[in-house]
Structure 1
Amino acid sequence: MGDDPVKVVLLGNSGVGKSNLIARYHANEFSNEFMSTIGVEFVTKKIEVDGVAIRLQIWDTAGQERYASMMKTYYRKAKGALLVYDVTSQSSFDSLEIWRKNLEANADPQCVSMVAGNKCDMEGVVDEAAARAYADAHSMGFMMTSAKTAQNVDTLFEEVARRIIATMAAGSGAAAPRPAAGGGMKLSAPPNGGSSSGSKQSSDCC
């Protein structure tokens, strides 16, 4: 893939844990204190997935409507998107359709996307089967995550990277690892979220 960064954006309402997912993945950090992201920030991380090196540029922005004016810039050149909801908040899940439509309207048609049900260490109110069905209906991957415990965090980013690699390879006519039929690979991850080496782990991805 070379050293050119591959842009991945996180979408979702304020408070669903987007910043903590990035902090956990990038620096293995987590904060219980909520601070709404102001503006746009990004981090980069180079990983290897199925023997392919890829440099992810992971973008974070506030999930509040007053920042809608910067959304076109946010989506521009994105190769992957993670639509994040809070399993303890039905409204955050219900809002995913708005975020999905914004993504569809502003991002490249080849941008791959996944749904992440975050805060799965807590008792949820969002029906997991319904969330999986929603992701399947829109050809998106799905995974339950916890930024607090690190469950499936590494695996989430590795899976979106895997899908990006496959999509980019398909566009160039080259062979590359492809997600399994049905929207993803049946993986699972240990509670610590595993490594970012690209080794295959089990997860709640489907």
Structure 2
Amino acid sequence: MSARKKVLLKVIILGDSGVGKTSLMNQYVNKKFSSSYKATIGADFLTKEVMVDDRLVTMQLWDTAGQERFQSLGVAFYRGADCCVLVYDVNNSKSFDMLDSWRDEFLIQASPNFPESFPFVVLGNKIDVEESKRQISQKRAMAYCQSKGNIPYFETSAKEAIHVEEAFEVIARNALAQEESEEYNEDTWATVNIHFDDPQGGCAC
């Protein structure tokens, strides 16, 4: 039995500056947290090999700068993504209100073949901050995710490593499913094109 080819999954992480995108990535990949991260300039990425069911996959996690001036990073950055993670800070209502803007930006730039079924995951980060400072309730966030087609939702803390592993497990699984569906669709189209282009194929009418 031949070895199954190694899969590279591209995951884009979007959200306002300061919501903890870099911290979440570093907690997941390196099991580390630092409170002194500098703002990301442009884009940066980390990779991690993980098992999804029986498959070894390499996740390429792309972290973007949340500042408006870096928002249009170009089509090449978004293209080929298998999953998009939208991050907000549960203690910052503006970062939650911006989720739609980030989601729309991704769909425009990445232009996936099937935008209505493209996998998104929403992370409400910084739940380690005291409850009195919280501005977005879990109920409100879940209602938003349901209205967008039941997007998976996790409340996380990069600082305390709460639900980070579980969230990225779902991200990896959804990204792999997307990658496989893209491959299936490409193979199907190739078969259809061969059938119609083949002069020996005759007419099916």
TM normalised by structure 2 equals 0.79
Identity %: 39
Report the residue type matching 2:56 in the other structure. Answer: A
Instruction: Please point out which of 66, 73, 78 is paired with 1:75.
Output: 78
How many residue pairs end up in the alignment? 174
Cα deviations by residue, 1:37-74 (Å, 9 ceiling, x for unpaired)? 01211111110022222110000111111012314232
CA gap 1:119/1:4 in 2 versus in 1, 3 angstroms? same
Q: Distance in 1 between matches of 2:94 and 2:74?
A: 21
Q: Distance in 1 between matches of 2:106 and 2:8?
A: 20
* Structure 1 unmatched ranges of 5 or more: 175-206
Q: Distance in 1 between matches of 2:5 and 2:58?
A: 8
Q: Is the 8 A contact 1:2 1:53 kept in 2?
A: no
Report the residue type matching 1:16 in the other structure. Answer: V
Q: Is the 8 A contact 2:15 2:102 kept in 1?
A: yes
Q: Distance in 1 between matches of 2:177 and 2:9?
A: 13
Query: 1:117: which partner in 2?
Result: 124
Q: Is the 8 A contact 2:9 2:59 kept in 1?
A: yes
Structure with greater helix percent:
2
**Which structure: larger Rg?**
2
Query: 1:94: which partner in 2?
Result: 97
4+ residue runs over 4 A deviation: 171-174
Q: Is the 8 A contact 1:89 1:125 kept in 2?
A: yes
Q: Distance in 1 between matches of 2:11 and 2:182?
A: 18
CA gap 1:27/1:104 in 2 versus in 1, 3 angstroms? same
* CA RMSD, Structure 1 to Structure 2 (Å): 1.8
Measured after TM superposition, the shift of residue 137 of structure 1 is 1.2
* Structure 2 unmatched ranges of 5 or more: 186-205
Measured after TM superposition, the shift of residue 76 of structure 1 is 1.4
